[in-house]
Amino acid sequence: MTITLGDVTFDTAYTTVSEKLKEVGGRDGREITLAGVIPSEHTVAAIEGRLDAILAAVPEDACTGELRLRPGRLLLVRRTAFKRTIAHGKLVGSFELTLEADDALEASASLNTRVWSVTASGDDIALTPSGTAPAEAVVTLVASGALVQPGVSDGQRAVTYDGTIGDGATLVFDGCNGMATLDGDDVTPYVSGVFPRLAPDGTTLTYTDAASSSHTAAGTVAWRDRWY
C-alpha cells in the first residue's frame, strides 16, 4: 500500500495512519492523522526540506488536497494541524499531520463515464457503481431539437428543468454540487425535485420530457464510486 498526499509519497514502513468520523461544518466528515519519521537523510537541511514538502502538500483553507490511503480511492482534505521535530544529533525528523475531509466518504480516483443516447421520453440506462455507498451522478444532455421540461429519475428521486432548451444546447444536472447549468449558466432556480443517485447494487436512470419535446439528446452520465 502506498500513501500519497498531493505529490508527496509517505514510506509506510515509517508512517502510521489513524482515522475517525466526526462532524465537520454540520455534516459527516473524517479526520485523518499521519504520523511518522524521516530517516536516512544526511543533513538537517534535507530533513527540513522533506518536512516543508509535507506542509506544502495540503492547504489549510479548503478541502482540495488529494489524499490516497487505499488503492484507487481518494479523500479531498485540508490541513488543521502540523507538528514537526528534528533530532539534530541523530539526523532524524518526525511529524504529525492532522487533516480533515468535509466528505467522510472516499471516492474513486478515476471518473466513470457512460454514453446515454436518448431517443424517446422514458428511455433509460442501467448503471452499477463499484463502491459501498451511493454515488452522486452528473447527467449531461445535448439537445437535438427542442427539449421541453427534460428530467431524470432514479425511481425514487427525480429532477426536472422547468423550461425549454433549444437545439444544440447543453443541460447539466450536477448531483455532486446540487446544481444545474444550461450552456454553462446556472439555472438551478428553474429546477425542481431531488437529484438522482446511483446505488451500489445498481440503479436505472430514466429520462422524461413533455409531449411537445423532440425527445432526442446525446447524453452522458459521470460519477465517482464512493466508499464508507
Contacts 24+ apart (CB under 8 A), 41-47: 41/91, 41/93, 42/91, 43/91, 44/86, 44/88, 44/91, 47/86, 47/91, 47/92, 47/93
**pLDDT for 104 beyond 90:** yes
Q: Are residues 73 and 139 in the same domain?
A: no
Residue range of the domain that includes 39: 3-104
Q: What is the rounded CA–CA span in Å between residue 112 and residue 78?
A: 25
Residue carrying the nine cell digits 495540503? 58
Dihedral sign (CA 106, 103, 205, 200) = positive
CB atoms within 10 A of CB 165: 24
| Residues forming a β-bridge with 222 | 113, 138
Q: What is the rounded CA–CA span in Å between residue 21 and residue 4?
A: 20
Looking at 104, 124, 150, which one is the last position of a domain? 104
Sorting pLDDT into bands at 50, 70 and 90, what band is 42? Answer: very high
Q: Mean pLDDT across the chain, nearest whole number?
A: 96
What pLDDT was estimated at residue 217?
98
**pLDDT for 39 beyond 90:** no
**pLDDT for 1 beyond 80:** no
Q: Are residues 72 and 154 in the same domain?
A: no
Q: Is 195 exposed, middle or buried (0-12, 13-18, 19+ CB in 10 A)?
A: buried
Q: Are residues 81 and 148 in the same domain?
A: no
Q: What is the pTM of this model?
A: 0.85
Sorting pLDDT into bands at 50, 70 and 90, what band is 139? Answer: very high
Is residue 188 within 8 Å of 171, Cβ to Cβ?
Answer: no
Number of domains in the chain: 2
122: closest CA among 35, 29, 215, 26? Answer: 215
Looking at 73, 104, 135, which one is the last position of a domain? 104
Is residue 71 within 8 Å of 63, Cβ to Cβ?
Answer: no
Q: Are residues 78 and 123 in the same domain?
A: no
Is residue 54 within 8 Å of 5, Cβ to Cβ?
Answer: yes
CATH number at residue 97: 2.40.30.200
Looking at 104, 121, 150, which one is the last position of a domain? 104
40/14: higher pLDDT? 14
